[in-house]
Amino acid sequence: MTLSYDTLLRLSERIPRYTSYPTAPSWRADLRPEDEAARQAKLPQPASVYVHIPFCVEQCSFCACNQVVAGRRDAATRYLNALDAQIRRLPLPEATHPIARMAWGGGTPTWLSPQELSQLHGLLTRRFVPIDGAELDVELDPEITSSEQLQVLAQLGTTRVSMGVQSFDAGVLEAVGRPQRAERVAAVLSEARALGMRGLNIDLMYGLPRQGLAVFAQDLAETIRLNPDRIAVFGYAHVPWLKPHQRRLDAYPRPEGEERLQLFLLAHETLRAAGYEPIGFDHFARPDDALAVAARERRLHRNFMGYTTRPDLEQLGLGVSAISEHHDAWFQQTSKLSTWWRQAEAGLPTLERGALLTPEDRLRKHIINQIMCNLALDFEDLAARFDLDPPIDLAPELASLAPLQALGLVQVTPWGLKVTEAGRLVVRNVAAAFDPGLAAPQRAPRFSQAV
């Protein structure tokens, strides 16, 4: 089934990406550090660890990440020392804790020198011990990543590298202030592959300035030629009221409305034709990649890292703005680097905000995650997990899906809910039916367009 542009445009509301539930804008700033410490003290084994390295060489105009342009190298020393002190103070159940996954994001982790990358790994593994088969995922900027850094990352056991390429077009890159050469992307990818890193990811972005259909088609073609294992395709979210530096992009024309939608559809058509399997609504993977396998086996999970293969892992977030996910809570560390430094160096808690989940929140989180990851809900499983009768207890939400059912985007039966292949494109709309928080008034738009 093919949806008309008019239908898709009508469904392109501002809806959360659902990398968390409750969504981050609703998190509270009055949580107690004791709430976080209590969950750290009971962290299940194994766990996942995310480390945020905020430093960048330049600020890209499209970026919505927590990052700092650092001109002085001593910032790395101070940051790693503060991180080390914070890790030593964690009230973990034991002196060392097994982990199945570690991820370094940013910012730009490869802003750190080869020696600093080794130092970071060392201070982490003093308390977090990778189990057999553990993953180490590292984000890198191909323009500043050296052969020596790649060799060090390989020696440290890096299993996957991700590059936020966004575009290969010189005009687009100039508009967004991102220095990047296509040949450098290819060289880094080739070297990482030769060093035995089995997972190679590329992130693209649509909706950027100067990015028409022909330009984006070339971006997709070049990405396919490089043959990464996974490709993420994100829609640019223009939120200058949250990220003032994005106002620089107002000087350039950006694809909007039907043109933006055409870019989104082009990505799905082109990548599927090239043999990539769709994962959720914004990721694609080779059929033999672990993410594609997990999707087929219905064991995906979605969080601030995107789609992951281990729904059973609780995640501990370390460093400025890092987010921790527990089965019944979310915690985010202080977002302002200068404040985080002062707190961490003084031995003070760095908790900024978060959410403690009620039983109802946990139900909603599970439902939304199942829809976003598996494009389905199994009512029997839901009843067993949460002691409810889904057709009765969720009747208002299921009834609200009637317009999407009429369009052939979702099917509701006495046994469950299934998002159709056409509905994959607007799966966020399906998930939003189960989010009571969207009914709350908003002073300003907080979420990106659904497509």
**152-188: per-residue pLDDT in tens?**
999 999 999 999 999 999 999 999 999 999 999 999 9
Same domain, 313 and 198: yes
Asked if the model's pLDDT at residue 14 lies above 80, the reply is: no
Only one residue has tokens 């590329």, namely 202
Q: What CATH number is attached to the domain comprising 448?
A: 1.10.10.920
Same domain, 277 and 392: no
Q: Is residue 345 part of a domain?
A: no
Only one residue has tokens 């997972």, namely 199
**Cross-strand bridge partners of residue 53:** 106
Count of the separate structural domains present in the chain: 2
Same domain, 120 and 3: no
Q: Is residue 221 part of a domain?
A: yes
Domain boundary among 272, 305, 323: 323
Same domain, 186 and 257: yes
Q: Which domain holds residue 440?
A: 1-20+359-451
User: Measured between alpha carbons, how far is 354 from 347 in angstroms, rounded to an integer?
Assistant: 20
Per-residue pLDDT of 263-297, as tens digits, reads: 999 999 999 999 999 999 999 999 999 999 999 99
Q: Are the beta carbons of 319 and 53 closer than 8 angstroms?
A: yes
Same domain, 144 and 207: yes
Per-state percent for the chain, helix, strand, coil, to nearest 5? 40, 20, 35
430 vs 65, which has greater pLDDT?
Answer: 430
DSSP string across 43-105: --SSEEEEEEE-EESS--TT--S--EE---THHHHHHHHHHHHHHHH---SSSSEEEEEEEEE
Same domain, 382 and 291: no
Same domain, 31 and 109: yes
Q: Is residue 352 part of a domain?
A: no
Same domain, 365 and 411: yes
Q: Is residue 49 part of a domain?
A: yes
| DSSP element (H, E) containing 272 | helix 257-273
Q: Is residue 370 part of a domain?
A: yes
Determine the Cα angle at 371 with ends 410 and 46, to 5°.
165
Same domain, 46 and 2: no
Q: What CATH number is attached to the domain comprising 96?
A: 3.80.30.20
Q: Is residue 338 part of a domain?
A: no
Same domain, 390 and 281: no
| DSSP element (H, E) containing 128 | strand 128-140
Same domain, 10 and 83: no
Same domain, 6 and 71: no
Predicted confidence at residue 68, as pLDDT, reads 85
Reference 401, options 432, 436, 370; nearest CA is 432
